[in-house]
């Protein structure tokens, strides 16, 4: 029985969900844009949907660009299978995060809770999306479920 459980665990696709600055403020920060649900609420939604798809998940949030780069490298080395990322404001400015995702060689889907094309002009372009297989913007929390489903098709 233990051997069967161990084998099943090895077969799960491992997805890392990385969040950048201010995502820890969900529920408090600009609720008219991001809603009142918290990052913990979002993680529970993702965890539940990921299990249905046969994925295991790991979550990380940081306001520090270097910490996010280091986490991408560490998770890649640990054998993660794919990423879902919302780097917040760093999406629009960070060549370092784009390079880290590219260097991982792993599929990534970028998610934005709000529609970046309907926000301030400086938010319209994502620097990091070019290292991803898809970008989902403006679907709120369900955008993360769509990202999981996109990865399930691989």
CA distance linking residue 82 with residue 101, whole number of Å: 10
CA distance linking residue 38 with residue 11, whole number of Å: 31
**Residue 61 dihedral angles phi and psi, to the nearest 5°:** -135, 135
Q: Compute the C-alpha angle 15/104/71, nearest 5°.
A: 65
Query: Which residue numbers are catalytic?
Result: 34, 112
Radius of gyration of the chain (CA): 15
CA distance linking residue 1 with residue 118, whole number of Å: 53
Report the b/e string of 68-77 with b at 16+ CB within 10 A: bbebbeebbe
């Amino acid at each position: 029985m233990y051997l069967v459980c161990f084998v099943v665990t090895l077969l799960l696709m491992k997805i890392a969900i990385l969040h950048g600055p201010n995502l820890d403020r969900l529920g408090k920060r600009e609720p008219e844009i991001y809603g009142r649900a918290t990052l913990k609420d979002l993680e529970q939604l993702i965890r539940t949907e990921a299990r249905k798809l046969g994925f295991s998940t790991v979550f990380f949030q940081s306001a520090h660009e270097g910490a996010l780069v280091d986490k991408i490298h560490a998770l890649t080395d640990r054998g993660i299978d794919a990423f879902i990322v919302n780097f917040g404001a760093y999406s629009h400015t960070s060549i370092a995060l784009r390079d880290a995702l590219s260097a991982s060689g792993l599929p990534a889907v970028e998610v934005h809770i709000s529609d970046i094309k309907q926000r301030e002009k400086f938010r319209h372009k994502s620097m990091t999306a070019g290292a991803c297989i898809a970008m989902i913007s403006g679907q709120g929390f369900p955008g993360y479920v769509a990202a999981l489903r996109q990865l399930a098709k691989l």
